[in-house]
Amino acid sequence: MEYDGTGYKGSQYQGNAPTVQGALERSLRSLTGEPIRVALAGRTDAGVHALGQVASFSTTSRHSPEVMVRGVNARLPRDVVVRAAAVVAAAFDPRRWAQSRWYRYSVCNRPVRPALDRYRAWHVAGRLDLEAMQKACAALLGRHDFAAFAPPSQATRGSTERVIYTAQWRRLNAHVLQFDIEGNAFLQNMVRRIVAALVDIGRGKLAAGNLAEMLRRAVPGTASAMAPAHGLYLIRVRYESGLFDDEANEDV
């Protein structure tokens, strides 16, 4: 699934607010005539976007995946679209079966705020030291306790250890910076807290070593600042089976 999260209170269903899950379930119900509940590979907050969210559901419908895609997309709002569909095992769980998740964060780094990208990138007006931000990323790689980058309430509910495979910044053009991070899983608001810390390093408010120290000490909630939700994108969810690997994101 691909969606613009601007008009939604997150991906997960809420009875009294518009959500991506709610929009998808209504479309599936209209197409199949069945009361369908979907499961999502990852929860995205209000305002967060996606190019590669994965949802699963069970149905007795005999529509082929191709017909299902066309039929659901004809019923979905314009800011949500199903890119591809496949038949999977009945036991498939899009969250638990995921091998990794790839997120991207976009920063507009120029003196003047953006108009077109106001809901798609974080505007940071001051100069950023991209080299220092990239150097600090090395501390994120591998297995660490990321309790410092999670709310204290989540840190008490289970393990806060996660494995990060890649973490890097790149300059897309003169004014846009992109941060890509891929890991086996992420804690609540973890990516947004990491981005806020890295931007503070780029601003000179934090030393690069502070990020490594927060990881070492692993005190829940230490990295309390969060980058705005609207700069974050769920790019892809990877599975051992290679599910949807051929649905390449040409715009990534």
Q: Domains of the chain, with CATH numbers?
A: 2-96 (3.30.70.580), 100-235 (3.30.70.660)
Query: Helices then strands (H, E): number in the chain?
Result: 6, 11
State the average pLDDT over residues 89-113: 98
pTM higher than the cut 0.75: yes
The torsion defined by the Cα of 59, 63, 67 and 72, in degrees rounded to 10, comes to: -30
- Please tell me the predicted confidence (pLDDT) of residue 154: 81
Q: Is 45 a catalytic residue?
A: yes
Q: How far apart are CA 194 and CA 91, in angstroms?
A: 34
Q: How far apart are CA 125 and CA 116, in angstroms?
A: 16
Q: Provide the residue type at 168 as one letter.
A: Q
Residue 249: the pLDDT is: 53
CB 5 within 8 A of CB 51: no
Pick the catalytic residue from 4, 45, 145, 200.
45
What integer best gives the mean pLDDT of the chain?
95
pLDDT at 252: 64
Whether pLDDT at 137 is above 90: yes
Report pLDDT for 156. Answer: 78
Supply the Cα-derived Rg of the chain in whole angstroms.
19
- pLDDT tens digits, 159-180: 999 999 999 999 999 999 999 9
| Amino acid 157: pLDDT | 81
